Amino acid sequence: YHMTVDLVLKDGIFIENGRETIRSVAIEAGKIEGVYKHGDEPQYQNSIDCRGLYILPGLIDIHVHLRDLKQSDKEDYESGTMAAAAGGVTTVVDMPNSDPPVLDKKTLDEKIAHAQESSYVNVGFYAGIPNNIEDFDVQMLQDILGLKVYPHSPLDKSTKYTKDRIKECTKLAVASEIPLLFHPDMPAREVVPKNMEEFFLAHSCEDEVKSVQSFIDAKIEYEARLHVCHVSCAATARLIRDNRAEDTLTAEVTPHHLFLTGGDFPHDDGLAKMFPPLRSPYDNKMLMEALCQTCAIDCVASDHAPHKKWEKTAPFLKASP
């Protein structure tokens, strides 16, 4: 049959069954109509020469911090989603620890309105959980993809992440029929780190593992869907692998925890400061294995979180993470 499609992406590098091959992709009314060998393409109104370029599906980044609102001097939905589109990312999901944090419907609605006005890609949202769980507005559920909690740095500073609090948050996620996401770290200690080494100790792999274990315990008790954000340690990946009997436990890793280590930067360099901290070459290797071989980790997420230049060029302890 002779059909004419809107667009053909011609002769690009296409991954088929794990191998590179040359293919053309026909698109009709915004959807993929078919994949063709060279010369077999249907007629088209427009074409793009993709020789030497990869043709990939749009990437989905499930962990970003698009600043906007009171931090629009750092980034807004327009500039952030423009950057995503330039990198081939067509969907991003925005975290709730913004300024102000997403703990109520008013803030969520404001974020959605800003995103609808100016985004170049699809934007989804997570919400946080108020200190008093009874205050959670169930009307937010129609507009969010999950609930996110931060045991080391709660969105509401009066919240303490005890075992009971973790259970309450887990129960809320189950009742809401959405996943609970968490930043794997223990509540902040009273002692403020005095140097780079103390900072790494204050956010150790032992703490990451302990935190993941406490959330897994609650997940099992209430049969929740649990997602571990930015896994940074080999031991954490092992713990997740050992609890992957069902697919209701998922995890992500960032590019920086796959490829960078704490030793890659000059001493006291603020660029090296992030939560979770950069780890060892061994952790890099085991996280890559967990992603590519044992499937303990499901996906890569960027944890995109822009700062002003001066905030990252400050000495390590003063720099923004």
Pairwise CA distance, residues 308 & 312, whole Å: 7
pLDDT at position 198 is: 87
Given a contact cutoff of 8 angstroms between Cβ atoms, the answer to whether 81 and 92 are in contact is: yes
Contacts of 126 (CB under 8 A, 6+ apart): 93, 94, 95, 96, 102, 144, 145, 146, 147, 148, 181
Given a contact cutoff of 8 angstroms between Cβ atoms, the answer to whether 64 and 303 are in contact is: yes
Pairwise CA distance, residues 55 & 48, whole Å: 11
Cα diameter, the chain: 73
Fold equal for 4-55 and 146-318:
no
pLDDT at position 142 is: 98
- Compute mean pLDDT per 10 residues along the chain, 321 residues long, and list them: 88 93 96 94 96 94 93 93 96 96 97 96 98 96 98 90 96 98 90 86 95 97 97 98 90 98 86 93 98 94 96 92 90
303 is catalytic: yes
Q: CATH assignment of 146-318?
A: 3.20.20.140
315: preceding bond cis by omega (within 30 degrees): no
Contacts of 226 (CB under 8 A, 6+ apart): 170, 179, 180, 181, 182, 215, 216, 219, 248, 249, 250
**Which ranges in the chain belong to alpha helices (H)?**
77-86, 105-118, 163-176, 196-202, 205-222, 234-242, 255-259, 281-292, 309-312
Pairwise CA distance, residues 270 & 316, whole Å: 4
Domain boundaries, the chain: 4-55, 57-124, 146-318
Catalytic residue among 61, 68, 185, 303: 303
- For the domain made up of 4-55, the CATH class stated in words is mainly beta
